[in-house]
């Protein structure tokens, strides 16, 4: 009924050009709105696709971060094991050098690290053996400057039992 009433309305001829301009403007606006609505739907579809790709990449990145953390842990562990192994080799070489430098009738009762190297405690048959211990330590490759810290006669139960000595050696691996 409304449509029939609108069709019955007669527009004066002088308004025809204005009405055609208004109808043309409405057609342009409606066309632009339709195109923008289509472009918006397409942009939202593309955004959803990119969001899905981003979510997959983000998940892969998080998984990679977990693996990277595991690899870092393994690399750190490997480094520490290698340091320990190298230290063990160094300590073993040092002990072998000390042992090879000991003459007959001399033995060690203690080895400890101190601020500047190693402190060696031991016993020897007499002072000449203690001097040969120092000479033997002077011949080693990795140990430097053996110095006699103390030496004393060891009298067990009132009987002479040899000499107690303490020697400090610089340059031992720590």
**pLDDT tens-digit profile of 27-83?**
999 999 999 999 999 999 999 999 999 999 998 888 888 888 888 888 888 888 787
Instruction: Say if residues 169 and 120 touch (Cβ distance below 8 Å).
Output: yes
What confidence tier does 127 reach under pLDDT thresholds 50, 70, 90? very high
Average per-residue pLDDT for the chain: 85
Beta strands 117-124 and 159-170: pairing type?
A: antiparallel
What confidence tier does 172 reach under pLDDT thresholds 50, 70, 90? low
What confidence tier does 174 reach under pLDDT thresholds 50, 70, 90? very low
Q: Per residue in 148-166, pLDDT tens?
A: 999 998 877 777 778 899 9
Residue with tokens 């601020």: 115
């Amino acid at each position: 009924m409304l449509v029939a009433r609108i069709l019955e309305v007669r527009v004066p001829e002088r308004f025809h050009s204005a009405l055609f301009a208004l109808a043309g403007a409405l057609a342009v606006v409606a066309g632009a709105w339709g195109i923008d609505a289509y472009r918006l739907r397409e942009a939202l579809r593309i955004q959803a696709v990119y969001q899905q790709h981003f979510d997959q990449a983000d998940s892969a990145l998080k998984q990679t971060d977990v693996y990277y953390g595991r690899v870092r842990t393994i690399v750190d562990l490997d480094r520490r094991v290698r340091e320990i192994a190298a230290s063990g080799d160094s300590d073993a070489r040092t002990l072998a050098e000390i042992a090879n430098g000991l003459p007959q009738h001399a033995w060690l009762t203690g080895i400890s690290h101190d601020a500047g190297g190693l402190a060696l405690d031991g016993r020897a048959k007499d002072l000449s053996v203690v001097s040969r211990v120092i000479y033997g330590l002077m011949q080693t490759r990795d140990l430097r400057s053996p110095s006699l810290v103390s030496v004393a006669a060891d009298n067990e139960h009132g009987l002479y039992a040899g000499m107690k000595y303490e020697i400090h050696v610089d340059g031992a691996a720590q």
